[in-house]
Amino acid sequence: MDNIQYIISAVVIAAGVVVWLAITLIKKSKEKDVKEKFKKIKVEDVIVLTKDNKEKWMFLLKKQNHLFLEPYNNFLEHPWYKDFFYDEANILINYENNGFIKEVDEIWQLRKKSLKLFKFEKDYQNYYSIFEEEKMDLEKEIEVKIKELQKNKIDKLIKLEKKQILETVEIPKDLNPYEVLGVDPSMPFKKIEEVYFQLAKIYKDDLNKKANDKYQQLEWAIETIEKEKQRTDKK
């Protein structure tokens, strides 16, 4: 009798284990399917960022591997900082090489706050299109620090190279930078820059030659207009 009860207990336990394993496997399979489907979904298709859903949006970015898991320590390590903050990066590298390490680090720590942990420039632009006041406060603080830093004279000057995207496209001599961006010359530079960022998001593609050519034209156009505006301001 005892043996029969022992066998029955063993069978019940074994059946319970089998059921538990089956449920666990089904659950994991469903989780895997959800993860695979989620990988194919763009964050912007799931949720449009607003001031009310920032935490949820950031959570989705993290799930999509759009955020750095570890903070980047040096501004030269950041994947797109040099491209989109080229002039600032040049200032920092030159002063750092001339011994102003503490001052440069203070500026970089401020810039890190604005970059947050964004892996991609488009997420950065998306975030600060909503939270512009947050960015502007930091930009003012960074601008003050850079002006203070530039009061110091330095001897050795170097220039950072921008990342090369495929082969360099030849810019036609008669090309109008304002027409490339589709903007009016009377527009403030800040507004023109906003248009540039929007177009750059569309055409920045290292693997597509046509998109790459257009992107390089956009870069040429914004740099040309910026220099022109700077010359005008000095007059």
Question: Is-above-0.75 flag for pTM?
Answer: no
52 and 153 fall within a common domain: yes
Helix, coil or strand: residue 67: strand
Backbone angles phi, psi at 73, to 5 degrees: -90, -35
Domain CATH number, residue 179: 1.10.287.110
**97 in the same domain as 21:** no
d(CA 57, CA 45): 11
Q: Which residue has the tokens 């950031």?
A: 58
- Decide: 95 and 104 in contact? Cβ < 8 Å: yes
Is there a domain that residue 172 lies in?
Answer: yes
Task: Give the domain range for residue 214.
Answer: 165-235
Instruction: With beta carbons less than 8 A apart as the criterion, state whether 94 and 76 touch.
Output: no
Identify whether residues 64 and 154 lie together within a single domain. yes
Separation in Å, CA 78 to CA 72, 74, 117: 6, 7, 10
Do the Cβ atoms of 61 and 68 come closer than 8 Å? no
Task: Please write the tens of the pLDDT for every residue from 40-70.
Answer: 556 666 778 888 999 999 998 888 888 887 7
List, for residues 115-143, the tens digit of each pLDDT value. Answer: 888 888 888 888 988 898 888 999 999 99
Please say which residue of 163, 184, 199 terminates a domain.
163
In a domain, 184, yes or no: yes
The reply to whether 53 and 156 lie within a common domain is: yes
Is residue 80 within 8 A of residue 121, CB to CB? The reply is yes
Contact criterion met (CB below 8 Å) for 177 and 220: yes
Return per-residue pLDDT of the chain as tens, 235 residues: 556 666 666 666 767 767 777 777 777 665 555 445 444 556 666 778 888 999 999 998 888 888 887 777 788 888 788 878 888 998 999 999 999 999 999 999 999 888 888 888 888 888 988 898 888 999 999 999 999 999 998 887 777 766 544 455 677 778 899 998 898 888 888 889 888 888 887 776 555 666 677 888 888 898 899 888 877 776 5
Domain limit, last residue, from 108, 132, 163: 163
189 and 211 in a common domain:
yes
CA dist., res. 119 & res. 129, Å (int): 17
| The predicted structure's pLDDT at residue 166 | 44
Q: Are 95 and 158 within one domain? A: yes
CB 83 within 8 A of CB 162: yes
117 and 222 in a common domain: no
Domain tally, the chain: 3
74 falls within a domain: yes
Note whether residue 1 is domain-resident.
no
Residue 200 lies in a domain: yes
Per-residue b or e along 111-142, where b marks 16 or more CB atoms closer than 10 Å to that residue's CB: bbebbebbbbbbbbbbbbeeeeeebeebeebb
Query: 181 and 104 in one domain?
Result: no
Q: Which of 6, 28, 43 represents a domain boundary (last residue)?
A: 43
